[in-house]
């Protein structure tokens, strides 16, 4: 192409995507430092209508727990929990009261993964960042866990008098009086070969987390550099027109001319110096959304030595849910690698070959019904699993379940389930929610954490006007950003 054509491409691709690059950079910095921003939140009334809670959708209802009289209140009650905290209701779901007293400020701290009651009547809640114990006098009080650095919680369960908290890498268990929890690193399964997820590797490369705090700070710096390149590029396009108008009106343009020269100098020097890293962060980000994501999600590669993924723990960031199967007399463990069976926490987990489909987004429901069947729910749908017979059927159609999960979103994107409401089926879907009870109007605009808001921006889901097009927004935006960087480099290389 002619030099003038390269310049036009760089100019217009850069201007079109500069706004998005600035948002990508700012949101990426927030995503890299979640707990630093966990106290901050934004009301959903300021967000597109799709983000408002309606009929218990958007993860507001993940599950429930039936409380005997005297534990939550004098009468029996039901605790409903999800990503906005815990709410107290009854078995008829007539009223819903806030039950978050004692939790830290900020909805991000109140993203509840599970609730459990011990045989002694102690009530515990596992939030994503920590474990809490309920006291009628003081509300929810933090319980110390020997967590690994940066580990989040994903589930909580009881069996007998043992309370087990599921971290994403380890289990933590305690017996009465539940004051001291011991960590357990499960044994590696027989098929473990040390390889890790290709998708997760690229994810951690994109954020810099693969190399710890230092890596994240490098990527933060790159985000700032991309913002500077975008702003200086806008100035370089806008200022010449502004300077001409000032000269035509007889005003001095000295300051604007100096700013123009500075903008061009910064844009040129920073762009040429950081082109490789800028292309790297753009390319890795482009890989993390459909359709490229689908090609990477099942890939496996050896862990890069001396990185966050190079762990002696075979279950590093893989544990999701844990339940005891009273019929099979074993623990049923749901992980990002599939379902496993283990007789005790000291035994070797055995992978179960025929299991229900689970979306790559993760499992949200794992509950045993009165017949002993397991109900499993994820964004791939809801399934009934008879472990004894090996039968798996679609909950809604009764048809035999497919062998694999398929696309990340199925016909029913399941986010929650409850069997604690008298005569009411409660299955919550991500968009549709559930009609088991009317949701109080004041819940519609419950806040979203600043971190989750940044995630919606960074993934392009915030642009709801695109409809289903949000799924491929990053694909096209990523190509645009990459082309803008490449054309800019070609222009400067030819000039030099």
**Can you tell me the distance from the alpha carbon of 454 to that of 451, in angstroms, rounded to the nearest whole number?**
5
Which segment of 63-67, 247-251, 270-274 scores lowest on mean pLDDT?
247-251
Q: How far apart are the first and last CA of the chain?
A: 18
Q: 327-369, pLDDT tens digit by residue? A: 999 999 999 999 999 999 999 999 999 999 999 899 999 999 9
For 365, phi and psi rounded to 5 degrees? -130, 130
Nearest to 57 by CA among 456, 408, 446, 457: 446
Across the strands, what pairs with 341?
Answer: 332, 350
Does residue 76 surpass a pLDDT of 70?
Answer: yes
To 10 degrees, the CA torsion angle through 189, 194, 197, 202? 160
**Can you tell me the distance from the alpha carbon of 365 to that of 374, in angstroms, rounded to the nearest whole number?**
9
Across the strands, what pairs with 447?
Answer: none
> Which pTM was predicted?
0.93
pLDDT of residue 494: 59
Whether 238 and 246 have beta carbons less than 8 Å apart is answered as: no
How many residues are present in the chain? 496
Q: 111-126, pLDDT tens digit by residue? A: 999 999 999 999 999 9
Q: 215-243, pLDDT tens digit by residue? A: 999 999 999 999 999 999 998 888 888 78
**Can you tell me the distance from the alpha carbon of 441 to that of 445, in angstroms, rounded to the nearest whole number?**
8
**Rounded mean pLDDT of the chain?**
94
| H or E segment and range at residue 479 | helix 470-495
Reported as a pLDDT band with limits 50, 70 and 90, residue 250 is confident
Sign of the CA dihedral with 322 first, then 192, 299, and 310 last: positive
> Per-residue pLDDT averaged across 283-306, rounded?
93
**Can you tell me the distance from the alpha carbon of 116 to that of 95, in angstroms, rounded to the nearest whole number?**
22
Nearest to 478 by CA among 210, 220, 291, 297: 291
Whether 167 and 153 have beta carbons less than 8 Å apart is answered as: yes
Does residue 495 surpass a pLDDT of 70?
Answer: no
Q: 137-149, pLDDT tens digit by residue? A: 999 999 999 998 8
Reported as a pLDDT band with limits 50, 70 and 90, residue 248 is confident
* Eight-state DSSP code of residue 403: S
pLDDT of residue 165: 99
Nearest to 262 by CA among 241, 231, 225: 231
């Amino acid at each position: 192409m002619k030099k003038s054509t390269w310049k036009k491409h760089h100019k217009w691709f850069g201007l079109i995507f500069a706004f998005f690059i600035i948002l990508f950079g700012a949101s990426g910095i927030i995503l890299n430092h979640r707990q630093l921003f966990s106290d901050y939140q934004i009301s959903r009334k300021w967000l597109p209508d799709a983000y408002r809670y309606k009929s218990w959708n958007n993860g507001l209802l993940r599950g429930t727990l039936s409380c005997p009289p005297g534990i939550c209140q004098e009468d029996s009650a039901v605790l409903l929990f999800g990503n906005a905290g815990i709410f107290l209701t009854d078995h008829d779901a007539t009223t819903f009261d806030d039950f978050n007293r004692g939790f830290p400020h900020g909805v991000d701290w109140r993203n509840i993964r599970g609730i459990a009651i011990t045989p002694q009547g102690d009530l515990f809640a596992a939030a994503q960042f920590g474990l809490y114990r309920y006291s009628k006098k003081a509300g929810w009080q933090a319980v110390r866990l020997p967590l690994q650095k940066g580990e989040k919680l994903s589930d909580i369960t009881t069996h007998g008098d043992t309370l087990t908290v599921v971290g994403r890498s380890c289990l933590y268990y305690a017996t009465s009086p539940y004051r001291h929890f011991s960590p357990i690193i499960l044994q590696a399964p027989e098929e473990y070969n040390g390889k890790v997820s290709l998708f997760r590797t690229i994810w951690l490369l994109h954020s810099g987390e693969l190399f710890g705090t230092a890596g994240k700070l490098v990527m933060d710096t790159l985000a700032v550099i991309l913002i500077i390149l975008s702003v200086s590029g806008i100035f370089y396009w806008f200022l010449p027109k502004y300077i001409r108008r000032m000269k035509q009106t007889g005003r001095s343009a000295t300051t604007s001319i100096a700013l123009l020269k500075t903008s061009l100098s910064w844009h040129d020097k920073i762009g040429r110096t950081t082109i490789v890293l800028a292309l790297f962060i753009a390319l890795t980000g482009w890989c993390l959304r459909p359709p490229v994501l689908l090609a990477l999600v099942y890939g496996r590669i050896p862990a890069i030595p001396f990185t966050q993924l190079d762990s002696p723990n075979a279950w590093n960031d893989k544990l999701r849910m844990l339940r005891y199967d009273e019929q099979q007399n074993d623990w049923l463990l749901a992980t990002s690698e599939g379902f496993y069976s283990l007789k005790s926490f000291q035994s070797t987990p055995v992978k179960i070959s025929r299991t229900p489909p689970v979306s790559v987004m993760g499992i949200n429901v794992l509950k045993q019904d009165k017949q002993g069947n397991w109900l499993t729910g994820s964004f791939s749908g809801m399934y009934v699993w008879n472990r004894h017979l090996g039968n798996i059927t679609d909950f809604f159609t009764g048809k035999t379940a497919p062998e694999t999960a398929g696309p990340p979103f199925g016909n029913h994107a399941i986010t929650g389930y409850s069997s604690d409401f008298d005569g009411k089926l409660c299955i919550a879907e991500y968009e549709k929610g559930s009609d088991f009870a009317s949701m109080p109007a004041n819940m519609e605009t419950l806040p979203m954490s600043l971190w989750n808001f940044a995630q919606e921006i960074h993934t392009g889901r915030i642009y709801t006007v695109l409809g289903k097009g949000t799924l491929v927004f990053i694909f096209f935006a990523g190509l645009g950003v990459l082309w803008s960087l490449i054309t800019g480099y070609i222009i400067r290389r030819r000039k030099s």
